[in-house]
Chains A and B, each alone.
Chain A
């Protein structure tokens, strides 16, 4: 089966990031690993594209980031850890409901599910 790439996921990435953060806080690299894990190896996402989504979500107040402290003597770039805010949790619930509705309607349209009114 063909992998699901970034173009197919466009528009859903923000909600997927919120879902990845719903269990616990994480930095960008860890979020990407969680998405890959949940995607069962079927995701083909360019890793850099995660960051615009993180900045959008932070700007909207759905997530909050903080820089990780580096142990003394360790050099190199710091990582930024993100966690869901209460506004983000509400947004995630809304997005999940919308997604279920979308799957149901498109499933009916594609003939995969019987029409339920």
Chain B
């Protein structure tokens, strides 16, 4: 059975498509291969020979992969393009953000926030590196702009991290609620309740950001002289309204992605 799964994964893993579509392909191809294997096994009862014949009847993985890839809509293919340079980050994130129902919510939230800190520190360093030339080579007005930028970035990252911690606690509870199968109404209501907690979390994040972030951007020769906090205000209500949906999507899809990885993505393929 493992050999059959590996063959399916050889075909499906490199395909550029959304996870849901790839799951469907995996399940359907595996069902077919399993039926073929059972049929071959009935002939002489030789398991390795039955696997070999089933794989031979199934066809070459690379040919099949090309045909399946062509059946994916173009837009989806473009959106699901893979960036090899990000694979290492995805691997770290997958390990750090792995959700385990036997783990405490507090530990899960701490791990996720830790991963977010590493991620944002990377971005902050990139931001600092890109503003350094301005600070070094521009005359007088550059200094305050760089300090303002660092202050703004710090406030943004700080409030996001608080949101990440509180949000992870809620998502942990949400996942515990949706774990039992079949899902009962009271579990669904509990899960919805944990999603609704996203609203106060979003408000806390917004207030924190408002309190920490600097307002006026120092004038750059009268070209840019605006209160960025005022610019962010129209986003407040959409941000608050979208947050429960965000929690539900991260909670449910993240869990599905983790299960998918544990079942398929962790298979080691010897090409």
Report if A51 contacts B (CB, 8 A).
yes
Q: B58 to A76, Cβ gap below 8 A?
A: no
Kindly identify, within residues 56 to 86 of chain B, every residue whose CB is under 8 Å from any CB belonging to chain A. Answer: 57-60, 63-64, 67-68, 70-71, 73
Q: A46 to B25, Cβ gap below 8 A?
A: no
Name the B residues within 8 Å of A49 (CB-CB): 59, 63-64, 67
Produce 1/0 per residue, A56-97, CB < 8 A to B.
100100000000000000001111100000000000000000
A21 to B32 alpha-carbon distance, docked (Å):
17
Kindly identify, within residues 26 to 65 of chain B, every residue whose CB is under 8 Å from any CB belonging to chain A. Answer: 26-32, 34-36, 57-60, 63-64
Q: A29-B31, A56-B71, A79-B31 are known contacts. Are A47 and B36 too (CB-CB below 8 A)?
A: yes
Kindly identify, within residues 2 to 46 of chain A, every residue whose CB is under 8 Å from any CB belonging to chain B. Answer: 27-29, 32, 46
Report if B11 contacts A (CB, 8 A).
yes
A-B contacts, CB under 8 A, total: 64
Tell me what chain A mostly uses at the interface: helix, strand, loop, or mixed.
Answer: helix
CB nearest to A57 among chain B residues: B71
Q: A49-B59, A51-B68, A52-B67 are known contacts. Are A80 and B35 too (CB-CB below 8 A)?
A: no
Q: A47-B58, A48-B11 are known contacts. Are A55 and B30 too (CB-CB below 8 A)?
A: no
**Which among B24, B34, B64 is the interface contact of A48 at CB below 8 angstroms?**
B64
CB nearest to A6 among chain B residues: B59
A27 to B35 alpha-carbon distance, docked (Å):
11
Q: A55 to B59, Cβ gap below 8 A?
A: no
Q: A52-B71, A55-B71, A59-B73 are known contacts. Are A46 and B60 too (CB-CB below 8 A)?
A: yes
**Interface size, A (range):** 10 to 19
Name the B residues within 8 Å of A48 (CB-CB): 11, 29, 32, 58-59, 64
Q: A29-B35, A48-B64, A55-B68 are known contacts. Are A79 and B28 too (CB-CB below 8 A)?
A: yes
A30 to B34 alpha-carbon distance, docked (Å):
13
Tell which of B31, B32, B58 has the most Cβ of chain A within 10 Å. Answer: B32
Q: A59-B71, A77-B34 are known contacts. Are A51 and B59 too (CB-CB below 8 A)?
A: no
CB nearest to B70 among chain A residues: A52
Q: B28 to A51, Cβ gap below 8 A?
A: yes
A97 to B30 alpha-carbon distance, docked (Å):
35
Produce 1/0 per residue, B91-124, CB < 8 A to A.
0000000000000000000000000000000000
Q: B24 to A46, Cβ gap below 8 A?
A: no
A97 to B27 alpha-carbon distance, docked (Å):
35
Q: A29-B31, A77-B31, A79-B31 are known contacts. Are A52 and B36 too (CB-CB below 8 A)?
A: no
Tell which of A47, A48, A49, A50 has the most Cβ of chain B within 10 Å. Answer: A48
A48 to B63 alpha-carbon distance, docked (Å):
9
Tell which of B35, B57, B63, B68 has the most Cβ of chain A within 10 Å. Answer: B35
Q: A46-B58, A49-B64, A52-B70 are known contacts. Are A80 and B36 too (CB-CB below 8 A)?
A: no
**Sorted from nearest, which 3 A-B pairs have the closest CB atoms?**
A46-B59, A52-B67, A55-B71
